[in-house]
Structure 1
Amino acid sequence: MSTDQWNVQERAAQISHDLVSWNSEGGLQGEADFAMRLRDYLLEIPYFRENPDDITIYPAYGQPQTYNLLALVRGTGKRTLGMAGHYDTVSIQNYHELAHLACDPVPLREALIADLASRSLSEQEARALADFQGGDFVPGRGMLDMKSGLAAGIALIEHFSTLEGREGNLLFMTTPDEERESRGMRALREDLPGYLAARGLELDAAINLDATSDQGDGALGRAVYEGTIGKLLPFAYVIGQSSHVSYPFEGISAQLIGAEILRGIEGNTNLADAGGGDVAPPPICLEARDTRNVYEVTTPERFWLSFNWLFQSGTAEDRFTQFRAEVEAALTRATEAFRKNAAAYGALIQASPGASTGAARVITLAELRATALADAAAEKAFADCEASLAGIDNPLELSRRLTEWLANAALLKGPCVVIGFAGLHYPPSRLDPADPRAADLLAAIEKAEAWAVAAEQPHCRRPYFQGISDMSFLGQPKKKGADVVAQNTPAARLVDEPSAEALGFPTVNIGPWGREFHQRLERVHGPYAFGILPKVLKEIAIAFLAPKA
C-alpha cells in the first residue's frame, strides 16, 4: 500500500483521543498506570495479539513507580528504526472550572468555544477561538505535548505490521517523566543495550515525536529538527555579612550582591549562545530569594539565585566558565559600589561608618564539598540529609537546601558566592553527517520531504529543537564537559551518569505542531498531526529500513 492510499486520519485521531482520555499528570497515579493501559490497548492490534512478547515493560525511576513501554514490529534483518516519546503531561489545574473536561477533547472544545465567545478577548484568545471554530485544532491536556505524536507512532507501527515482506524493524518507545527529570528515558537508555542484544537487533537511528509551536500557518511547525538544544541550571548561593539596618556599612547585604548578579546575567544577550548555526535565548532567572523565614531588622546574610541557560554549542564546562566570570564581575561591582557608598556616608557623618568587609570570593560547589565533607562522619551526615530530603520534587529547593547544609558544615563566611548546578544537565545534540547512519537517516528524510512537497505540505529543516526534551538522552552517551556538572551538583539524584554501555545513535525530532504548550488553550493542528505526520514517518521508515543497494 502506498503512503497516499493509507487512510490514516481517522485512526490516528482516534488513538490521540484515547490516549488523552487517560489522565497521566506527572507524579500522579495516572502516570504510573499509563504504560500498563497502553500495553492492553496495543494488544488489540492483530500483530501484537499474535506476538504479545513483542511488547516489553521496564520499570523507570521515581515514585510512584512508573514504566517504560517498548513495542516492536519485526520485519527482516537486524536494522531497526526507533520512534520515541513521553506520555506524562503537566497538571490540568490551569483549566480551572473546565478541569473535569481537560482529558475529553470533544466536549472541551465546545466548552472553550462557549467560554471564549462569551467575553471580550485578548489577541491570543481570539486566535484560539478562531482555531476551534474552524475545526482544525483539537484541545486537551497532552493532545499537543505529546500524545498526538505518540498516536502517529502507534498508527505507523500498526500499519507497518500489515505490510507483507516488510524490511527492517520498527521499535516504538514511550516513557514517563519527561516533564520533570527525564527519568523514564534515562532508565530506558540503560535497558536498551540488553533489550536489543537479546533480540539480535541494531538500533541504527531514532525519531523523537515531540511537538512544536507555530503561531502561523504551520510552515515552521512542519519541521525536521536535526538536533536539540541543551540546558543547564547554574546557581549562585550568596553569603554576605549581615548588619543592623541602622549600621549597614558594618557588613554587606547578600541581597545587594545577588541583585548585581541578577542584573548582570538576566537576559544578557552577550551570553546567548550563537554557535552551531542557531541562536539560543539568553539565561533567565528562575528563582531569586532570601533564605530566611523570619522578620529581622538585620540585612540578609544569604541569598539564592538559579538560572535557566540554554545552549547548543560548546560544553557545560564552557558555560560554567562563563557563569563564574559573570558572578565574579558582579561580586566585584557590588562590593566596590558599596565601599564607595560607605565612604560617602562617612564623609556625611564625619565618622567611620564601619570597618570594610573581608575580601570577597567565588568558590565552586565542588570546592565547598571538599571542605565540608573532610571525613567519613561528615559524608555520612550529608548522605543522611540528602535522604531526608528525597521527597522534595523541586530540584531548585533540593539543591538550595543541600548547598546550605554544606555551607553550614564548612563554617563558610562571607562575602562569598558558591556556584554550582541546581538541576539535571540536558546536553545538546546534533546529527553528525560523517556518521553513515546519520547520512542514511538524512537521505530517508529527504525522500519524505519530497513526498511532503508533492502533498503540498512542505517541511522546513531546523537545526535545534528549542524545547527541552528526552532527545538530550535518546541515543546520547556521556558528553564531553559533563564531569563539571556532576562535580558541582549537590543532589546525586540530579546527576546524569550514563553507563559505559549506553548506545549512541543519530536522532532527529519530527512531531505534530500546534499552539500554547501546557496552557488552557493547548491545541494541536489535527489535519497535520493525524493525516500528514504518520505518512511522513512512514516514508522515512520505509526508505531508511530498505536494504542498501
Structure 2
Amino acid sequence: MRPCREEVLAITKELVHVNSVVNTNGEKQVAQYIFHWIKKLKYFQLHETAVMMQKTMNDQYERYNVLAYVRGTKSASDKTIILMGHLDTVEIDDFAHLKKWACSPDELMEKMKQEAVPPLVREHLHSNGWLFGRGSLDMKSGLASHLYLLKYYSEHPEKLSGNIVLIAECDEEDSSHGILSALKALKAWKKEHQFNYIAAINADFVSPRFPGDENRYIYKGTVGKLLPSFFITGAETHVGSCFEGLDPNYIAAYLTKQINYNPALCNEAYGEITTPPVSLKQTDLKPFYTVQTALAAYVYYNFFVHSWSPKEVLVKLKNEAIIAFQQALADYKERYKAFCRRSGDTFHEISWKPRVLTYKEMERILTKLHGQSYIDHMEKFKQNKLTDEQLDVRMFAAAVVEEAWKWMEDKSPAIILFYSSLYSPRVEVTGEKSEREKNVLQALDHAVAEVQPHYPYSIVTRNFFPYISDMSFVSLSDDEKEIQAACDNNPSWGTKHYIDYQHIRDLNIPVINIGPYGYDAHKKYERVELEYSFNIVPNLTFQVIKQLLASGQK
C-alpha cells in the first residue's frame, strides 16, 4: 500500500476550488488548471508534447479536454492503460444561501456545522473523515486519484512496463462532447505512438445501493442510457366543449402512469437489474395561453439498459404506449358517458383508436406520400432550427417531429415514439469476449485481494456501473444494427446530433470503474469519504496497472 491520502486530498481540494459547472466558462478554467498542473511536472517539461489541451468538436461551447501520457522505461511494451475522469460538475444553485462556499470545502463544512442538518450529515461533518463540496465526490476526487498516479509514474517511469494515458474530459454531465472528441486524439496517439490500449479505468463516484449498505463497489462495464420521447397529438377543442376533442395532456398522463416506475421495464442481466424509467420532462407545446386545448404534448423518460438494445426498447415502449392509449380512451369514454347522464346531453360514440408510430415509421409514410418535396422541406427546416442556439437537442427533436406531423394526411390523435438525445451505450465486461477482458478482470481480482486487508469495509465488484458515465464511449456491446435503431429514430440525427460510433468500435477498450465513495452526489450535502477515496482507490488502481503491465511484453 502506497501512503497517498494527504496528497490526493490536497489535489482534490485544488480541483474543487475551481468552479467548473458544465456548459460554463468554468470547464475551460479547470482544464487550464489541470493542464498547467501537469506541465509543471519534470517529466512533461522534458516531454512537452506528451500533454495537450484539446478543444471539443462540434460544440457550441468553448471547452477543453486535457490528455497526457507517460511512457514506461522498465521494459519495451506497447501496452497502454487509459485513466479517465470528467472535470465538470453539475450546477451549484442547490446550495442556496451556502452557494458562495459550494466550491470551498473547509469553509463550507464550517458553515454547515452551524446549521440544522440530517443526523448522518452531522455525523460526517464532525468526524474528520469526510470532505464536502460540489465536485468533491462527483468526481474531482476520482480525477485527483488519477492525477496522483500520473505524477507518480512521471517521476518513476522506470517502474512502468508500458504506458499510461490520462484523459480529463469535459461535458460528462450533459452531452459527452468531451470523451467523444477525445476519441479522435486516442486514435491519433494509437497510430503515432503505437499504443495498444488494453484497458480503461474510470474513477466516477460510487455510493451505497440501499440504506445501511456498507459495501464499496467496483464496477465492470456500465449501464446504457436512452431518452425515449413521445410526441402526442389530440383533437383540439374549446374547453367549454371539452368532449368534442381529446386533450393530448390527458394521453400524456396515462403514458407517464404506464411507464414511470414500471418494474416490467427494468432490464435484468447477470443477476443485476436497472432502475425503472422515470419522466424527465412532460409538457404541452402551446406557446401561450388560450382556451383551446393543446394541439400536442411532449414527454421524455430516462431509460437504463443492461442488455436491451435501442431497437428492443422501441418495441417494448411502443407496446406500453398502445396500452396507455387504450386505457386513456376507455376512461375517456366512461367519463363522457357519466357526464352525459348528469347533464342530459346526448352521448356520441367516439371514433378515435389507439395509434402509435415510431419516428422511422412516420418518416416512411411521409416520404412515400410526398417524396422529395417533404425531404427537402424537412432538411431546410432543420437547418433553420440550427440557428437557434437556445434550442437544446431534445427540444430540437420535438420541433422536427412537430413539423413533420403537419405533413400527415391522417391527423387523428396519435403518439410518435422517438429518441431525442444521445444513446450512451451499455458496456458488458464479462471476460468472455476477448483476452483483454479476461486480463482486466484477473487484474481487478488481484488488486482487490491485495488491498482488501487494509480496509474494514467489503470491496465488492458488480457488472454494471449504475449511473450515466463516459465509460459508455470507449467500448461497445451492441452490434451495428442495434445501434442503427437509435440513429434512425432520432429526428436530430445528422444535424443537431451525431456520434460516430465507429470511432468507439475501432478502440473498443474494456473499461472498469474504481471510484471514490460518498453520499449525495448532485445534492448540497455532496461528500466523499477520505480513507477509501484518497488512499484505497489510488492503491486499487495502482495494483490493476501493475498487474496488467507486469509481463511487459507487446
Q: Is the shorter-chain TM-score for this pair beyond 0.5, marking a shared fold? A: yes
Separation (CA, whole Å) in 2 of partners of 1:10 and 1:333? 60
- Please name the residue that 1:439 is paired with: 438
Alignment counterpart, residue 17 of structure 1, candidates 13, 25, 28: 13
| 1:221-246, Cα deviation, whole Å (9 max, x unpaired) | x2210121111111111111122334
| 1:394-435, Cα deviation, whole Å (9 max, x unpaired) | x43333223222223446612111111122111111113121
- Please name the residue that 1:160 is paired with: 153
Q: How many residues align?
A: 536
Amino acid at match of 1:13: L
| 1:480-530, Cα deviation, whole Å (9 max, x unpaired) | 412111111122334433235631111011100111001111111111111
User: Residue 206 of structure 1 contacts residue 507 of structure 1 at CA under 8 Å; is this kept in 2?
Assistant: yes
TM-score, reference length from structure 1? 0.92
Separation (CA, whole Å) in 2 of partners of 1:294 and 1:40? 50
Structure 1 range deviating more: 436-445 or 489-498:
489-498
- CA deviation after TM superposition for structure 1 residue 28, in Å: 0.9
Q: 5+ residue gaps in structure 2?
A: none
| Aligned residue runs from structure 1 range 55-94, under 5 A | 55-61=51-57, 62-75=59-72, 76-94=76-94
- Please name the residue that 1:177 is paired with: 171
Separation (CA, whole Å) in 2 of partners of 1:354 and 1:546? 79
SS at match of 1:153: helix
| 1:54-107, Cα deviation, whole Å (9 max, x unpaired) | 112322132322122211111131001111011011112222222222222111
| 1:179-205, Cα deviation, whole Å (9 max, x unpaired) | 001111111123321221101111111
State the identity %.
26
Amino acid at match of 1:505: I
Separation (CA, whole Å) in 1 of partners of 2:430 and 2:184? 23
| Aligned residue runs from structure 1 range 113-192, under 5 A | 113-114=113-114, 116=115, 119=116, 121=117, 125-163=118-156, 164-192=158-186
2:532 is equivalent to residue 528 of structure 1: yes
| Aligned residue runs from structure 1 range 163-312, under 5 A | 163=156, 164-214=158-208, 219-220=214-215, 222-312=216-306
Structure 1 range deviating more: 156-165 or 73-82:
156-165
Structure 1 range deviating more: 185-194 or 318-327:
185-194
- Please name the residue that 1:96 is paired with: 96
Separation (CA, whole Å) in 1 of partners of 2:162 and 2:137? 30
Amino acid at match of 1:460: V
User: Residue 389 of structure 1 contacts residue 398 of structure 1 at CA under 8 Å; is this kept in 2?
Assistant: no
Cα 1:477–1:49 change in 2 (3 A) is farther
Separation (CA, whole Å) in 2 of partners of 1:422 and 1:7? 47
- CA deviation after TM superposition for structure 1 residue 344, in Å: 5.1
Separation (CA, whole Å) in 2 of partners of 1:527 and 1:456? 9
Separation (CA, whole Å) in 2 of partners of 1:147 and 1:412? 53
Separation (CA, whole Å) in 2 of partners of 1:406 and 1:271? 29
Separation (CA, whole Å) in 1 of partners of 2:345 and 2:94? 57
Alignment counterpart, residue 544 of structure 1, candidates 527, 542, 548: 548
2:52 is equivalent to residue 52 of structure 1: no
SS at match of 1:226: strand
Amino acid at match of 1:232: L
Amino acid at match of 1:48: F
Amino acid at match of 1:297: V
Separation (CA, whole Å) in 2 of partners of 1:411 and 1:37? 57
User: Residue 161 of structure 2 contacts residue 552 of structure 2 at CA under 8 Å; is this kept in 1?
Assistant: no
- Please name the residue that 1:450 is paired with: 449
| 1:18-41, Cα deviation, whole Å (9 max, x unpaired) | 111111111111112322221111
User: Residue 485 of structure 1 contacts residue 495 of structure 1 at CA under 8 Å; is this kept in 2?
Assistant: no
Amino acid at match of 2:415: V
Cα 1:190–1:244 change in 2 (3 A) is same
Amino acid at match of 1:143: S
Separation (CA, whole Å) in 1 of partners of 2:99 and 2:237? 49
Amino acid at match of 2:361: E
Amino acid at match of 1:92: I
User: Residue 489 of structure 1 contacts residue 495 of structure 1 at CA under 8 Å; is this kept in 2?
Assistant: no
Separation (CA, whole Å) in 2 of partners of 1:72 and 1:537? 16
- Please name the residue that 1:499 is paired with: 502
Cα 1:367–1:447 change in 2 (3 A) is same
Cα 1:348–1:176 change in 2 (3 A) is same
Structure 1 range deviating more: 170-179 or 101-110:
101-110
Q: 5+ residue gaps in structure 1?
A: none
Structure 1 range deviating more: 229-238 or 357-366:
357-366
CA RMSD after TM alignment = 2.2
Amino acid at match of 2:97: E
Separation (CA, whole Å) in 1 of partners of 2:11 and 2:343? 76
Cα 1:355–1:295 change in 2 (3 A) is farther
Amino acid at match of 1:263: K
Separation (CA, whole Å) in 1 of partners of 2:286 and 2:530? 50
Cα 1:348–1:526 change in 2 (3 A) is closer
| Aligned residue runs from structure 1 range 348-387, under 5 A | 352-354=346-348, 356-370=350-364, 371=366, 374-375=371-372, 376-387=375-386
